[in-house]
Amino acid sequence: MKVVFIKDQPGGAKKGEIKEVSSGFASNFLLPKGFALAVTPQLQSKIEKEEKEAEKKKQKDQEKIEMLKKQLESRVFGVKVKVGNNGQMFGSVHEKEVVDAVRAKTGVNFDKHQITIDAPIKELGEYKVKVKLNGGLNANVKIKVEAI
């Protein structure tokens, strides 16, 4: 008997998964406990339709992320810092300052944990930092550290 699981089942079945199980197991355990529903042609077509819609949404989201990556990599984001009389910076540039600079120019908000700075930025100049995007993509963002 084919069933579609509506809850995660300990032992391997995940929600939304269709499996062939014995009739006794289905009618005595899965169906009465509310873990699964018997697969009917209407239910099968509904599940397939939902899977196609989910795939389209995933593809659309991936395209948006790739466009964001191109947008981020094509710009230079300025970070203003205080410097002393000899041109030496006070402190260093951290992830939060990079997040603020990107948000100011693009309106896109990142978490500081999505930003990776290879080495501490303690001098004026241009640097590249990594921004982790959803979908496993990373954007190499250019930042320019300038004096106020």
Q: What pLDDT is attached to residue 135?
A: 80
d(CA 73, CA 120): 21
Write down the domain spans for the chain. Answer: 2-61, 66-147
Q: What pLDDT is attached to residue 76?
A: 96
Q: What pLDDT is attached to residue 62?
A: 93
Mean pLDDT of 90-103: 93
DSSP class of 112: G
Mean pLDDT of 132-144: 92
2: Cβ–Cβ under 8 A, 6 or more apart, which residues? 18, 19, 20, 21, 38, 39
Indicate the SS3 state at residue 11. coil
Residue with tokens 């710009």: 75
Question: pLDDT confidence of 16, banded at 50, 70, 90?
Answer: confident
- At 135, list the tokens: 């979908």
DSSP strands (E only) in 39-101: 76-81
Q: Is the Cα dihedral 88, 93, 99, 102 positive or negative?
A: positive
Question: pLDDT confidence of 87, banded at 50, 70, 90?
Answer: confident
- At 146, list the tokens: 């300038």
Q: What pLDDT is attached to residue 134?
A: 87
pLDDT digits (tens, 9 = 90+) for 64-75: 999 999 999 999
Domain 66-147 belongs in CATH node 3.40.800.10: no
Whether the predicted pLDDT of 141 surpasses 90: yes
Whether the predicted pLDDT of 28 surpasses 90: yes
Domain spanning 2-61: which superfamily? Ribosomal protein L9, N-terminal domain (3.40.5.10)
- At 56, list the tokens: 């389209």
